[in-house]
């Protein structure tokens, strides 16, 4: 994940933390009015942690998947579609010629390694927290206010990512093929868009399903 991706992740997580914290305050107030005491229960705090950890690990996993998709595009359409040439550090001697093909090949393999490490570690952390959440929550608890807030914030995150990545990816891809502009490889933004778009559609489908279920329950 590059610097722009890390900055975007931090900003999004700030919004998520603020939103879930606001939800926790609301829940605290509601519990206080109901006479349940003035202290947030340990179970609620642990569930908040699990949801935040799920979001963070999901974003790392998605970043790794995007790197692997970027590498696949580079293999299918040429390394120059996805990468700038990358050369060893420290740089070779001044009299040593730099071969762009070797730099592109090195960049491809560096991207594959980034994707495997990010996707692998993110998936392990994601799976561990999913397992703990399923062991902790009782049936139906994931559909309470906290569970719905988690779904809404995930949908918000991926909606923003789609709005940011998709126009940028389409612009640079069309520019690459129609205008033969090779200064900005379109593989990176296209890979990001291809990764987040299906997840956004799935989250939207889930949110609509929850809404319909509530409507049917109220109507019944």
Q: What is the pLDDT of residue 7?
A: 45
H or E element that contains 75: helix 42-77
CA 156 to chain centroid: 11
Which pTM was predicted? 0.80
Q: Does residue 9 carry a pLDDT above 80?
A: no
The reported pLDDT for the residue numbered 219 is: 56
Phi, psi of 193 (to 5 degrees): -65, -40
DSSP H or E run through 29: helix 3-33
Structure confidence at residue 1 (pLDDT): 47
Residue 71, CB half-sphere, CA atoms under 13 Å: how many? 18
Hey, where are the domains in the chain?
3-89+100-211
Cis geometry, peptide bond prior to residue 93 (ω within 30 degrees of 0): no
Q: Is the pLDDT of residue 81 over 80?
A: yes
> Is residue 2's pLDDT more than 70?
no
Mean pLDDT computed over every residue of the chain = 81
Q: pLDDT over 70 for what percent of the chain?
A: 73
């Amino acid at each position: 994940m590059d610097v722009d991706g890390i900055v975007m992740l931090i900003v999004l997580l700030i919004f998520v933390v603020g939103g879930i914290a606001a939800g926790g305050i609301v829940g605290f107030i509601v519990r206080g009015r109901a006479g349940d005491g003035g202290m947030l229960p340990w179970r609620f705090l642990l569930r908040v942690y699990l949801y935040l950890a799920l979001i963070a690990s999901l974003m790392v996993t998605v970043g790794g998947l995007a790197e692997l998709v970027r590498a696949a595009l580079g293999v299918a359409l040429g390394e120059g579609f996805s990468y700038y040439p990358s050369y060893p550090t420290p740089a070779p001697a001044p009299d040593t010629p730099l071969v762009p093909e070797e730099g592109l090949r090195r960049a491809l393999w560096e991207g594959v390694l980034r994707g495997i490490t990010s996707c692998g570690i993110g998936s392990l952390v994601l799976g561990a927290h999913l397992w703990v959440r399923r062991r902790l929550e009782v049936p139906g608890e994931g559909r309470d206010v906290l569970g719905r807030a988690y779904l809404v914030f995930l949908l918000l995150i991926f909606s923003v990512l789609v709005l940011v990545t998709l126009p940028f990816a389409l612009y640079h891809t069309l520019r690459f093929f129609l205008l033969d502009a090779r200064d900005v490889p379109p593989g990176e933004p296209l890979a990001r868009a291809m990764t987040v778009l299906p997840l956004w559609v799935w989250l939207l489908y889930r949110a609509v399903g929850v809404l319909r279920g509530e409507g049917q329950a109220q109507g019944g």
